[in-house]
Amino acid sequence: MTYTDHVAAIRNLISKGAASKDLRITDRLIGHFLNIARASVINKYPSTSNWQTICVDLEEGALSDICTDCVLPETCTSLMRSIASIPNTVTNTKEPIVVRTIDGNTISKGSLQNQKHKKYSLTQQNNNISWFIYNQSLYIISDRLIPTIFVDGIFSSPQDISNLTNCVDSSTPGNCFDGSMLYPIDAKAVNAVYELTMRMLSQAYRFGEDRSTDARDLAIDVLRNNKR
């Protein structure tokens, strides 16, 4: 199901016997609460469907710009930095980001703190490539220049990648996500996401009735119709 499909399904639930004040709820607001609900429950429904992949261009950076007492390992000669900011990821999952080279090899995660102590470590000095994020920029420490990488992520708001101009799994150049694309969520999580979305909307707009059961039934109907 697409993002637009989910928003429309929740709007249909809101409009079911709703008072006129409910009609003031915009699709953007529904989408906002939908994203919050997804981020809140996604750790309970691990699935590849939750992930999005972006292709990130890199430029040369300087370690001294972000850390005055950090050093590159002897085997590494370059520091690359993402040109675009990396969107925020959900915080309740163990590993919300995976970084890969263009040929598909996973890059080990490092940290800025590690770089401060690497010159004293015999084991870490032999790690020729690693990544870390600082101020929403992704940095690659490597023994060679790397112009582009893949970033797989469970992003807090799937729309946050929509302004990226270089992406994967998008038929529209320059637009990595829009309402016509599949919303990154596992089908088993839809019930919980709908119920939580409706609960937050009802608290904000004081619906005249509890529609959590309706949300669960609607989610089941939508999924059943989507499989036909």
The answer, yes or no, to whether residue 19 has pLDDT greater than 50, is no
d(CA 113, CA 127): 15
Q: What is the pLDDT of residue 49?
A: 94
Whole-structure pTM value: 0.78
Structural domain spans, the chain: 3-45+185-226, 50-161
The answer, yes or no, to whether residue 112 has pLDDT greater than 70, is no
Q: Which of the four pLDDT bands, split at 50, 70 and 90, describes residue 212?
A: low
Read off the pLDDT of residues 46-61 as tens digits, 9 standing for 90 and up. 999 999 999 999 999 8
Cβ–Cβ < 8 Å for 104, 152: no
Read off the pLDDT of residues 185-201 as tens digits, 9 standing for 90 and up. 999 999 999 999 999 99
The average pLDDT across 2-23 equals 76
The average pLDDT across 119-148 equals 76
Residues 6 or more apart from 93 whose CB is under 8 A from it? 42, 43, 46, 154
